[in-house]
Amino acid sequence: LFDQGCHLVILACNTASAKALRTIQQNDLPLIDPDRRVLGVIRPTVEKVGEISRNGNIGIVGTPGTIRSGSYELEIAKLHPTFHTYTQACPMWVPLVENREASSPGADYFVKQEVDRLMAKEPAIDTIILGCTHYPLLYDKIRRYVPESARVLPQGEIVAESLVAYLKRHPEMEAKCSKGGTCSYRTTESPDKFAELASLFIGAPVTATQIDCL
Protein backbone atom coordinates (compact mmCIF):
# COMPACT_ATOMS: atom_id res chain seq x y z
CA LEU A 1 0.00 0.00 0.00
CA PHE A 2 2.91 2.36 0.66
CA ASP A 3 4.15 1.56 -2.87
CA GLN A 4 0.72 2.64 -4.13
CA GLY A 5 1.26 6.07 -2.56
CA CYS A 6 -0.59 5.69 0.74
CA HIS A 7 0.79 7.70 3.65
CA LEU A 8 -1.67 6.30 6.19
CA VAL A 9 -2.99 2.73 6.28
CA ILE A 10 -5.78 1.37 8.47
CA LEU A 11 -5.77 -2.34 9.22
CA ALA A 12 -9.54 -2.69 8.83
CA CYS A 13 -9.52 -6.14 10.38
CA ASN A 14 -9.65 -7.04 14.05
CA THR A 15 -7.49 -10.15 13.70
CA ALA A 16 -4.80 -8.22 11.81
CA SER A 17 -5.00 -5.37 14.34
CA ALA A 18 -4.69 -7.84 17.20
CA LYS A 19 -1.83 -9.89 15.80
CA ALA A 20 0.22 -7.58 13.58
CA LEU A 21 -0.35 -3.89 14.37
CA ARG A 22 2.10 -3.50 17.25
CA THR A 23 4.88 -5.29 15.35
CA ILE A 24 4.30 -3.15 12.27
CA GLN A 25 4.28 0.07 14.28
CA GLN A 26 7.28 -0.71 16.47
CA ASN A 27 9.53 -2.80 14.22
CA ASP A 28 8.61 -2.23 10.58
CA LEU A 29 7.67 1.44 10.23
CA PRO A 30 10.98 2.80 11.60
CA LEU A 31 12.77 0.82 8.86
CA ILE A 32 10.31 1.41 6.02
CA ASP A 33 9.44 5.07 6.58
CA PRO A 34 9.08 6.75 10.00
CA ASP A 35 6.76 9.37 8.47
CA ARG A 36 4.14 6.82 7.41
CA ARG A 37 1.42 5.60 9.77
CA VAL A 38 -0.48 2.34 10.26
CA LEU A 39 -3.54 2.37 12.54
CA GLY A 40 -5.87 -0.37 13.75
CA VAL A 41 -9.54 -0.73 14.70
CA ILE A 42 -9.35 -2.06 18.27
CA ARG A 43 -8.25 1.03 20.20
CA PRO A 44 -10.82 3.41 18.63
CA THR A 45 -13.56 0.91 19.48
CA VAL A 46 -12.38 0.56 23.08
CA GLU A 47 -12.23 4.34 23.45
CA LYS A 48 -15.85 4.60 22.30
CA VAL A 49 -17.01 1.92 24.73
CA GLY A 50 -16.05 4.21 27.61
CA GLU A 51 -18.60 6.76 26.41
CA ILE A 52 -21.40 4.25 25.96
CA SER A 53 -21.34 1.61 28.70
CA ARG A 54 -23.40 2.37 31.79
CA ASN A 55 -22.23 -0.47 34.03
CA GLY A 56 -18.81 -1.43 32.61
CA ASN A 57 -19.79 -4.94 31.53
CA ILE A 58 -18.50 -5.32 27.97
CA GLY A 59 -19.12 -8.26 25.66
CA ILE A 60 -16.92 -8.96 22.66
CA VAL A 61 -17.72 -11.30 19.78
CA GLY A 62 -14.98 -12.01 17.27
CA THR A 63 -13.08 -14.58 15.27
CA PRO A 64 -11.19 -17.24 17.23
CA GLY A 65 -7.91 -15.47 16.37
CA THR A 66 -9.07 -12.12 17.71
CA ILE A 67 -10.49 -13.63 20.87
CA ARG A 68 -7.39 -15.77 21.53
CA SER A 69 -5.15 -12.71 21.22
CA GLY A 70 -6.69 -11.08 24.29
CA SER A 71 -6.21 -7.70 22.64
CA TYR A 72 -9.57 -6.29 23.66
CA GLU A 73 -9.12 -7.30 27.28
CA LEU A 74 -5.69 -5.63 27.33
CA GLU A 75 -6.90 -2.38 25.76
CA ILE A 76 -10.00 -2.19 27.94
CA ALA A 77 -7.93 -2.83 31.06
CA LYS A 78 -5.58 0.02 30.09
CA LEU A 79 -8.25 2.57 29.22
CA HIS A 80 -11.08 1.49 31.53
CA PRO A 81 -9.53 -0.41 34.48
CA THR A 82 -12.85 -0.78 36.33
CA PHE A 83 -14.60 -2.45 33.38
CA HIS A 84 -15.19 -6.20 33.03
CA THR A 85 -14.87 -7.96 29.68
CA TYR A 86 -16.51 -11.14 28.44
CA THR A 87 -15.55 -12.67 25.11
CA GLN A 88 -17.05 -15.21 22.75
CA ALA A 89 -15.43 -16.66 19.62
CA CYS A 90 -17.88 -17.12 16.74
CA PRO A 91 -16.14 -19.38 14.19
CA MET A 92 -19.22 -19.84 11.99
CA TRP A 93 -20.16 -16.19 11.52
CA VAL A 94 -17.58 -15.28 8.86
CA PRO A 95 -18.38 -18.35 6.71
CA LEU A 96 -22.07 -17.45 6.94
CA VAL A 97 -21.37 -14.01 5.51
CA GLU A 98 -18.90 -15.12 2.86
CA ASN A 99 -21.24 -17.86 1.65
CA ARG A 100 -24.11 -15.37 1.37
CA GLU A 101 -26.05 -17.03 4.18
CA ALA A 102 -26.25 -13.99 6.46
CA SER A 103 -29.96 -13.50 5.78
CA SER A 104 -30.91 -17.17 5.73
CA PRO A 105 -33.04 -18.76 8.45
CA GLY A 106 -30.23 -21.22 9.11
CA ALA A 107 -27.95 -18.39 10.23
CA ASP A 108 -30.24 -17.73 13.19
CA TYR A 109 -29.14 -20.94 14.88
CA PHE A 110 -25.45 -20.03 14.89
CA VAL A 111 -26.04 -16.39 15.82
CA LYS A 112 -28.35 -17.23 18.72
CA GLN A 113 -26.01 -19.96 19.94
CA GLU A 114 -23.04 -17.63 20.33
CA VAL A 115 -25.06 -14.71 21.68
CA ASP A 116 -26.59 -17.00 24.31
CA ARG A 117 -23.14 -18.27 25.28
CA LEU A 118 -21.87 -14.73 25.68
CA MET A 119 -24.83 -13.52 27.74
CA ALA A 120 -24.63 -16.61 29.96
CA LYS A 121 -21.20 -15.41 31.10
CA GLU A 122 -22.70 -12.15 32.40
CA PRO A 123 -26.39 -11.31 31.91
CA ALA A 124 -25.67 -7.67 32.84
CA ILE A 125 -23.54 -7.04 29.72
CA ASP A 126 -24.76 -3.68 28.43
CA THR A 127 -22.43 -3.14 25.45
CA ILE A 128 -21.43 -5.70 22.82
CA ILE A 129 -18.57 -5.02 20.41
CA LEU A 130 -18.86 -6.62 16.98
CA GLY A 131 -15.15 -7.39 16.76
CA CYS A 132 -15.05 -8.38 13.09
CA THR A 133 -15.73 -6.44 9.90
CA HIS A 134 -18.03 -9.22 8.68
CA TYR A 135 -20.40 -9.05 11.63
CA PRO A 136 -22.38 -5.90 10.68
CA LEU A 137 -23.90 -7.99 7.89
CA LEU A 138 -25.38 -10.13 10.68
CA TYR A 139 -26.45 -7.11 12.72
CA ASP A 140 -30.21 -7.61 12.44
CA LYS A 141 -29.97 -11.22 13.57
CA ILE A 142 -27.56 -10.38 16.41
CA ARG A 143 -29.85 -7.59 17.57
CA ARG A 144 -32.77 -10.05 17.59
CA TYR A 145 -31.12 -12.26 20.22
CA VAL A 146 -29.41 -9.60 22.32
CA PRO A 147 -31.35 -8.12 25.29
CA GLU A 148 -32.98 -4.78 24.48
CA SER A 149 -30.96 -3.16 27.25
CA ALA A 150 -27.64 -3.97 25.53
CA ARG A 151 -26.07 -1.74 22.90
CA VAL A 152 -24.55 -3.49 19.86
CA LEU A 153 -21.57 -1.67 18.34
CA PRO A 154 -20.54 -2.11 14.70
CA GLN A 155 -17.13 -0.54 14.10
CA GLY A 156 -17.46 1.25 10.77
CA GLU A 157 -18.68 4.62 11.99
CA ILE A 158 -16.50 4.44 15.11
CA VAL A 159 -13.31 3.95 13.08
CA ALA A 160 -14.33 6.64 10.57
CA GLU A 161 -14.96 9.17 13.36
CA SER A 162 -11.67 8.22 14.98
CA LEU A 163 -9.85 8.82 11.71
CA VAL A 164 -11.36 12.30 11.41
CA ALA A 165 -10.20 13.09 14.95
CA TYR A 166 -6.74 11.66 14.23
CA LEU A 167 -6.29 13.84 11.14
CA LYS A 168 -7.35 16.92 13.12
CA ARG A 169 -4.68 16.11 15.72
CA HIS A 170 -2.09 15.47 13.01
CA PRO A 171 -2.46 18.19 10.35
CA GLU A 172 0.87 17.18 8.81
CA MET A 173 -0.65 13.81 7.91
CA GLU A 174 -3.97 15.33 6.86
CA ALA A 175 -2.11 17.54 4.39
CA LYS A 176 -0.63 14.45 2.70
CA CYS A 177 -3.99 12.76 2.15
CA SER A 178 -5.73 13.20 -1.18
CA LYS A 179 -9.16 14.81 -1.08
CA GLY A 180 -10.62 13.43 -4.29
CA GLY A 181 -13.00 10.98 -2.67
CA THR A 182 -12.03 8.22 -5.08
CA CYS A 183 -11.88 4.51 -4.27
CA SER A 184 -9.79 1.73 -5.76
CA TYR A 185 -9.66 -1.92 -4.78
CA ARG A 186 -6.46 -3.93 -5.00
CA THR A 187 -5.91 -7.49 -3.89
CA THR A 188 -3.11 -10.04 -3.75
CA GLU A 189 -5.52 -12.88 -4.54
CA SER A 190 -8.06 -13.46 -7.31
CA PRO A 191 -9.61 -10.10 -8.25
CA ASP A 192 -12.83 -11.87 -9.26
CA LYS A 193 -13.15 -13.56 -5.88
CA PHE A 194 -12.31 -10.32 -4.10
CA ALA A 195 -14.87 -8.37 -6.14
CA GLU A 196 -17.59 -10.91 -5.42
CA LEU A 197 -17.08 -10.77 -1.66
CA ALA A 198 -16.39 -7.04 -1.48
CA SER A 199 -19.68 -6.28 -3.24
CA LEU A 200 -21.47 -7.83 -0.24
CA PHE A 201 -20.01 -5.18 2.04
CA ILE A 202 -20.09 -2.21 -0.34
CA GLY A 203 -23.59 -2.89 -1.60
CA ALA A 204 -22.56 -2.14 -5.18
CA PRO A 205 -20.48 -3.80 -7.91
CA VAL A 206 -16.73 -3.73 -7.23
CA THR A 207 -13.88 -3.98 -9.71
CA ALA A 208 -10.53 -5.07 -8.26
CA THR A 209 -6.98 -5.09 -9.56
CA GLN A 210 -4.49 -7.80 -8.63
CA ILE A 211 -1.14 -6.67 -7.24
CA ASP A 212 2.00 -8.55 -6.24
CA CYS A 213 3.09 -8.03 -2.64
CA LEU A 214 6.53 -9.65 -3.12
What are the chain's domains?
Answer: 43-155 (3.40.50.1860), 183-214 (no CATH)
- Tell me which residues are annotated as active site: 13, 132
For 125-162, the pLDDT digits (tens) are: 999 999 999 999 999 999 999 999 999 999 999 999 99
> How far apart are the C-alpha atoms of 128 and 198, rounded to whole Å?
25
For 66-109, the pLDDT digits (tens) are: 999 999 999 999 999 999 999 999 999 999 999 999 999 999 99
> What mean pLDDT comes out for the span 170-179?
91
- For the entire predicted model, the pTM comes to 0.90
Give the C-alpha distances (Å, rounded to integers) separating 98 from 51, 71, 103, 199, 201: 32, 25, 12, 11, 10
DSSP string, 156-212: HHHHHHHHHHHHHH-HHHHTTS--S----EEESS-HHHHHHHHHHHHSS---EEE--
